[in-house]
Amino acid sequence: MLTSVYRLVRPRQFELVFNDITLDKSHVIVHPVRLSICNADQRYYQGLRAENILRKKLPMALIHEAVGRVAFDPTGQFEEGTLVVMIPNTPTEKDDIIAENYLRSSQFRASGFDGFMQEYVSMEPDRLVALPEDVNLSVAAFTEIVSVSYHTIQRFLRFSHSRRDVIGVWGDGNLGYITSLLLKAILPETKVCVFGVNEYKLHDFSFADDVYLISDIPEDFHMDHAFECVGGAASSKAINQIIDYINPEGTISIMGVSEDFAPINTRMILEKGLRLFGSSRSGREDFLGLIKLYNQNPDLINQLEKIVGAEIHVRSIQDITRAFEIDIHKIMGKTIMIWEN
């Protein structure tokens, strides 16, 4: 069966190609319906990755945050038309210790191979999770980034000591919003404080216990643990500020992606006996755990609706380009493509 695939061939240039999908007994065919743009897609779109990485990875269909409807399922697990979230991480082996998203053999859509900007996608059934029909589709579209926060918090619960009176979250963007929101849902007794650089963005964090501009942190402020959700050129500044304010033996969860090495205050990491760990992407267990959390806390979806940004109907390459350009110039929130291809 032929399907349209929209690939980025070079920065800011997409191309439509037709791919042949082989129908077999073990793959489900899904029609994507709503897609959400991640910063990682923007790094490819704007050509912010190193030249050799772009040469290696492009042409490639972008987007790893998406929901779709099942078009054909020969495995009999999903009825035609079922709304599903698609898991971009694609493992090729099982490991009892290492999570699927850290196995070096795993592939990730829109990083190692084609993402969801396609008319139809052929998926293993375990890469799909059914969603309730009444879910807000735009919020559902960015389930993947929420599952990354969920995954990181689960790791944090394993790695950190149990005094969790105050947690700081650095970053007043989408990931900071999602991570601090999930922290409040998972650890309701913990005081969650958010640190950012934009007063108008911090206003949206109404569920947080406190918000601070990083230039205006009270000198006597201390926290037990922290999450870094900044990334890019500001990573180093954010991590070093966390190191300054964190209590001894605290745990720092690093989530922001940066293209360059980030110099950090290792002397103080040693003196305070800190633990730093990184988290990237997520796996099936995280998607399942997150959906359970949504069921237990229906208000989470209402809070996530607040970061739905532009919702753009997409039928052509011109529309895709428009969506990516709007996303670059957004003030806050996730840019959603209503996928009509």
The residues that touch Zn ion, with contacts defined as CB under 5 A, are 38, 40
Q: Which is nearer to ligand NDP, 38 or 314 (CB)?
A: 38
User: Residue 127's closest CA among 163, 84, 86, 186?
Assistant: 86
108 scored as a contact of ligand 5RP (CB under 6 A): yes
C-alpha distances in Å from residue 16, one per residue of 40, 155, 258, 315, 335 = 21, 40, 30, 12, 22
Give the binding-site size for ligand 5RP (rule: CB under 6 A). 12
And the tokens for 50? 């190193």
Q: Which is nearer to ligand 5RP, 37 or 202 (CB)?
A: 37
The answer to whether 116 and 60 have CB atoms below 8 angstroms apart is no
Q: Which is nearer to ligand 5RP, 142 or 245 (CB)?
A: 142
Q: Least distance to ligand 5RP from the beta carbon of 275, Å?
A: 21
CA dist 307 and 178 (Å) reads 9
144 scored as a contact of ligand 5RP (CB under 6 A): yes
Measure the CA angle with vertex 225, ends 39 and 257; round to 5°.
20
Q: Which is nearer to ligand NDP, 160 or 174 (CB)?
A: 174
And the tokens for 24? 């077999």
**Which residues on neighbouring strands pair with residue 311, listed in sequence order?**
336
Sketch the per residue contact string, 186 through 225, with ligand NDP: x for CB under 6 A, - otherwise.
Answer: ---------xxxx--x------------x-----------
109 scored as a contact of ligand NDP (CB under 6 A): no
257 scored as a contact of ligand 5RP (CB under 6 A): yes
170 scored as a contact of ligand NDP (CB under 6 A): yes
The answer to whether 251 and 161 have CB atoms below 8 angstroms apart is yes
The site for ligand 5RP (CB under 6 A) is made up of 38, 40, 43, 64, 108, 111, 144-145, 148, 257, 280-281
